[in-house]
Amino acid sequence: MAHVLTGLRLLLVAPVALALARPEQFPPLALLAAVLVAIATDYFDGIMARRTDSASDRGRLFDQGWAAPSSRATCPRFYPC
């Protein structure tokens, strides 16, 4: 199940990137919702992976690779850093 949540977060990359590139075409609340879903999947997939003993190096790498760029990309959009 943790892999499904990671996959969902991966699927959100394109819409979020498009919304950031063309903000005039996407409602800010839609972007916020997508980012919040991505954050929630990031939180819950780690918990599930540890509980089911399915944590993997690939999953850890994806989590670390996703967290830093996504927080930097959304930071200027929602609040001054």
Q: At residue 3, does pLDDT exceed 50?
A: yes
What is the pLDDT at residue 60? 67
Q: What is the per-residue DSSP string for 20-38?
A: HH-GGGS-HHHHHHHHHHH
pTM of the model: 0.65
pLDDT in tens, 44-78: 887 887 788 877 777 666 666 655 555 555 555 55
User: In b/e form, how buried is each residue of 47-72, taking b as 16+ CB within 10 angstroms?
Assistant: ebbeeeeebeeebeebbeebeeebee
